[in-house]
C-alpha cells in the first residue's frame, strides 16, 4: 500500500521507527519529513503536504505524528477530503476506517511507545471502509460540509470580530464568537475591558445553510 508519513520534532523518532517497519512490511512509503530532528520545526510544514497528497489521491493512507497527535489531527482535517483521527487504541484504529472512512491516522510520539504505535498503524492499514448505507449517509453529510466552505465561513465571519462600543466600558471591544467559547454572555476578562457575547450555533447555521441545520428527512444520503 502507498502510505505517506510526516512528523515534526515531537514525532520524529517514532516516524523513523514506523518508516522502517512499514518498508519492512512491504509498503511503498512516501516520507514527507522532517528529514532531521530539529527541535524548532513546526508540524504544519510536514502534515499539510501529507494531507494535500492524501486529498489529491496520490496516497492510499496517511500517518501523521507530532508530540501528542493533536496538532497533526487539527491540521490534517483542514484539508478537504482528509478524514484524520487521533488514535490511541487498536479498536479505534480499525473502526475509524470502517465506520468513518478515516484516511489519516494521527499519533503522538510522546504518548505512545513504538510497539503500540505499530499495532495501531497495522490495524489502520488493514481496515477497509464500510459500504453500509448508514456509514455512507454519515460520510455524505460530512462531505457536504466540505463543499460549502464559503457559505459557512461567511456566516461565521458575520459574527466575528465586530467591534462595538459598550456604554459602560467605552474603550472595550465586543467580540462575538460561537457559543461555548470564552465569551459566554456577560463574560468579562479580569479588568472588565473585553466583553464577549456568545451566539447560538443555530444562528450561524440559519444564515449559512449548513446541512446539519436541515431536518433529517431532507438531508442528502
Interface ranges with ligand RB5 (CB under 6 A): 8, 10, 43, 66-68, 70-71
Beta strands in the chain (DSSP E): 2-7, 28-31, 61-66, 84-86, 104-108, 173-178, 187-188, 194-199
Q: Which is nearer to ligand RB5, 8 or 16 (CB)?
A: 8
- Integer-rounded Cα Rg, in Å, for the chain is 21
Residue 7 Cβ, how far from ligand RB5 at the closest point, in Å?
A: 8
Residue 15 Cβ, how far from ligand RB5 at the closest point, in Å?
A: 11
Q: Which is nearer to ligand RB5, 10 or 183 (CB)?
A: 10
Residue 17 Cβ, how far from ligand RB5 at the closest point, in Å?
A: 16
With H, G, I as helix, E, B as strand and everything else as coil, classify residue 31. Answer: strand
CA distance 4 to 56: 12
SS3 content of the chain, % helix, strand, coil (to 5): 45, 20, 40
Q: Hey, what's the torsion of the CAs at 7, 11, 13, 14, to 10 degrees?
A: -90
Q: Which is nearer to ligand RB5, 10 or 94 (CB)?
A: 10
Grid cell digits, residue 76: 490534517
Q: Which is nearer to ligand RB5, 75 or 172 (CB)?
A: 75
Residue 82 Cβ, how far from ligand RB5 at the closest point, in Å?
A: 16
Residue 186 Cβ, how far from ligand RB5 at the closest point, in Å?
A: 32
Q: Which is nearer to ligand RB5, 9 or 176 (CB)?
A: 9
Q: Which is nearer to ligand RB5, 67 or 211 (CB)?
A: 67
Phi, psi (deg, nearest 5) at residue 148:
-120, 35
Nearest residue to 108 via CA among 84, 135, 73, 57: 73
Nearest residue to 8 via CA among 40, 34, 36, 35: 34
Residue 100 Cβ, how far from ligand RB5 at the closest point, in Å?
A: 21
Q: Which is nearer to ligand RB5, 45 or 100 (CB)?
A: 45
CA distance 206 to 138: 21
Residue 21 Cβ, how far from ligand RB5 at the closest point, in Å?
A: 21
With H, G, I as helix, E, B as strand and everything else as coil, classify residue 70. Answer: helix
Amino acid at each position: 500500500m502507498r502510505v505517506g508519513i510526516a512528523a515534526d520534532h515531537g514525532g520524529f523518532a517514532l516516524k523513523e521507527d514506523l518508516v522502517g517497519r512499514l518498508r519492512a512490511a512491504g509498503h511503498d512509503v512516501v516520507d514527507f519529513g522532517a528529514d532531521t530532528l530539529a527541535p524548532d520545526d513546526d508540524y504544519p510544514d510536514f502534515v499539510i503536504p501529507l494531507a494535500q497528497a492524501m486529498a489529491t489521491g496520490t496516497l492510499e493512507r496517511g500517518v501523521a505524528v507530532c508530540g501528542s497527535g493533536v496538532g497533526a489531527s487539527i491540521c490534517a482535517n483542514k484539508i478537504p477530503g482528509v478524514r484524520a483521527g487521533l488514535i490511541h487504541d487498536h479498536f479505534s484504529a480499525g473502526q475509524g476506517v470502517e465506520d468513518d472512512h478515516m484516511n489519516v491516522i494521527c499519533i503522538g510520539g510522546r504518548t505512545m511507545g513504538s510497539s503500540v504505535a505499530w499495532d495501531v498503524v497495522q490495524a489502520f492499514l488493514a481496515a477497509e471502509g464500510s459500504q453500509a448505507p448508514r456509514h455512507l449517509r454519515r460520510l455524505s453529510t460530512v462531505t457536504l460540509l466540505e463543499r460549502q466552505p464559503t457559505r459557512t465561513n461567511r456566516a461565521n465571519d458575520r459574527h466575528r470580530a465586530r467591534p462595538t462600543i459598550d456604554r459602560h466600558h467605552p474603550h472595550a471591544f465586543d467580540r462575538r464568537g460561537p457559543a461555548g467559547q470564552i465569551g459566554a454572555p456577560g463574560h468579562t476578562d479580569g479588568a472588565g475591558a473585553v466583553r464577549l457575547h456568545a451566539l447560538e450555533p443555530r444562528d450561524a447555521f440559519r444564515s449559512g445553510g449548513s446541512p446539519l441545520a436541515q431536518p433529517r428527512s431532507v438531508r442528502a444520503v
